[in-house]
Amino acid sequence: MPKMKTKSSAKKRFKVLGGGGVKRAHAYMRHILTKKTTKSKRQLRGTTMVDASNTRSIRAMMPYA
């Protein structure tokens, strides 16, 4: 049986945690930052968890994570 491949896009964007949750970065923080307020940019820093409704599909993209 051949090995299943991990989706390259998912492996770059997500990390699976020990408890089964999936960690992700915030969107809207890459460019055109001059028109965004300091508060909105500050709140986009760091990481957050993927919503429960999307976790199953992301885990399917990364079969060995």
4 within some domain? no
Residue 1: pLDDT band with limits 50, 70, 90: confident
20 within some domain? yes
41 within some domain? yes
Provide the 10 A C-beta neighbour count for residue 61.
16
The total number of structural domains in the chain stands at 1
Residues 54, 36: Cα–Cα separation, whole Å? 27
Could you tell me how far CA 12 lies from the centroid of its own chain?
8
Tokens 């885990």 -> residue: 59
Could you tell me how far CA 36 lies from the centroid of its own chain?
22
Q: Can you give the pLDDT at residue 13?
A: 97
Interval 8-29: pLDDT, tens: 999 999 999 999 999 999 999 9
pTM > 0.85: yes or no:
no
Query: Could you tell me the residue range of the domain that residue 40 belongs to?
Result: 12-61
Residue 42, domain CATH? 4.10.410
5 within some domain? no
Region 1-10: mean pLDDT is: 95
Interval 25-62: pLDDT, tens: 999 999 999 999 999 999 999 999 999 999 999 999 99
